[in-house]
Amino acid sequence: MSFLRRRGRDWTLAILTLPSREAYLGQLVQSLAAAVDPARTELLILHNDGCEAVADDARARLEAQAGPVAVRFLRGHAEPTITRGRNALLAACRTGRIAFIDDDVTVHGDVLGSLETALAAEPLALVGLPSLQNDGDTPDKPRPDTPAVEHGPVRWMPVHGLLCAGYTAVLRRAGGFRERRRFWGEWTELNLRLWRLGLPTGYWLGGAHLRHWTAAPDSPTRNRARKERDIVWGLLCTALEYDAGVDAPGSEAFWRLISTRYLPYAFGRGLSAERVFAVMVELLPEFGAAWHGIQADRELARHHPFDFRPFQPLTEALVAGVRRHARRALRRVRVVPRRRYVPEVTFPSSLSVAPA
């Protein structure tokens, strides 16, 4: 993996977005331009709304907001999904490390320095940074009530969105994003797969942070029409791919979250057994088409070195075992932090975008 140490740019900041979210994307780009070393960084932006190229005027605005940081734009897919978009970004990455960043956040502090310190200090396959909601002090991610094991500045747990960073080659070799997930649950599945492969994930709490601007329009998950179909689809795929039946040992947390969090989120006040069953009936033909792929992934999962179940609570002993495994598995890609880049400008902690 000598390409990971080549000179020049060594970070790709990969952003999946929609044209209607340009104002928020612009704020993110400005915050990145104020925080990262342009000699080492490329912004990779994919408008995930079809095959049309980014309009010239939008491209010019974003390049101006990025200042000296290089920006590269990708064309989308004729049938775009979140997982296809993320895999396109991963495939197009030219650097040894990649950070997937949601378009409705801003970064605050030495974001690359924090990520590099985390990756050098611990055998992390995927690392996130903590976030606050909007311009207040309310924690956003990681959720304070999510089970985790905390050691110093690392909270060992799944990293679900906003900013997820790691080694490009490791994420590719792990299989990237499972495109069967489509519009929901891609980070949940990838985190679970990484832990089962002995490649742990967690949040680095010792440096930079994010702000999550929750009024951004047209969320491809929260505002998507019939999002209950996507959520039920993702839950069923997870149960089948990882053999997480109701009585399977270690699956108690998965089924508890289905009933207390995910189905209420999917259906809202209209949640009922009848509606859940009706959605499952709608999905049956799609499961028929996907069944051979699901069976293949079930077989692969049976050979993973660690047998984590979806949302299984971590313990000190489990984390210690995976860390030992990961130190060996990641020894060729672990990095020593470079001299820290000190930005000339500090990006403000409030947005100029009016709430929707």
Residue 315's pLDDT is 96
- CA dist 4 and 16 (Å) reads 24
Provide the domain count of the chain.
1
Q: Domain for residue 207, yes or no?
A: yes
Q: Are 44 and 88 in contact (CB under 8 A)?
A: no
Residue 356 lies in a domain: no
**Within-domain flag for 152:** yes
Q: CA 137, CA 263: separation in Å to the nearest integer? A: 29
Domain-embedded: residue 352: no
The pLDDT of residue 291: 96
Within a domain: 349: no
Look at residue 355 in the predicted model and tell me its pLDDT: 35
pLDDT for position 71: 98
In a domain, 347, yes or no: no
Q: Are 309 and 244 in contact (CB under 8 A)?
A: yes
- 3-class state of residue 3 by DSSP: helix
Omega cis (within 30) before 285? no
Q: Is 108 helix (H, G, I), strand (E, B) or coil?
A: strand
Q: Tell me, what's the pLDDT at 346?
A: 37
Burial of residue 166, with CB atoms counted within 10 A of its CB: 0-12 exposed, 13-18 middle, 19 or more buried: buried
Which domain, by its residues, includes 235? Answer: 9-341
The burial class, CB within 10 Å (0-12 / 13-18 / 19+), for 177 is buried
Contacts of 215 (CB under 8 A, 6+ apart): 134, 353, 355, 356
Q: What percent of the chain clears pLDDT 90, i.e. is strictly above it? A: 83
CATH number, domain of 123, equals 3.90.550.10
Inside any domain, residue 283: yes
Below-50 pLDDT ranges, the chain: 1-6, 341-356
227-241 vs 186-196: helix crossing angle, rounded to 10: 10
For residue 101, give the H/E element and its range. strand 97-101
In this structure, is residue 1 part of a structural domain?
Answer: no
User: With contact defined as beta carbons under 8 Å apart, do 282 and 274 qualify?
Assistant: no
Written as one string, the DSSP assignment of 297-344 is: HHHHHHT-SS-PPTTPPP-HHHHHHHHHHHHHHTTTT-----SPP--S
For 277, list phi and psi in degrees, rounded to 5. Answer: -65, -40
Residue 154 and residue 197: Cα distance in Å, rounded? 20
- pLDDT digits 0-9 by tens, 241-300: 999 988 888 999 999 999 999 999 999 999 999 999 999 999 999 999 999 999 999 999
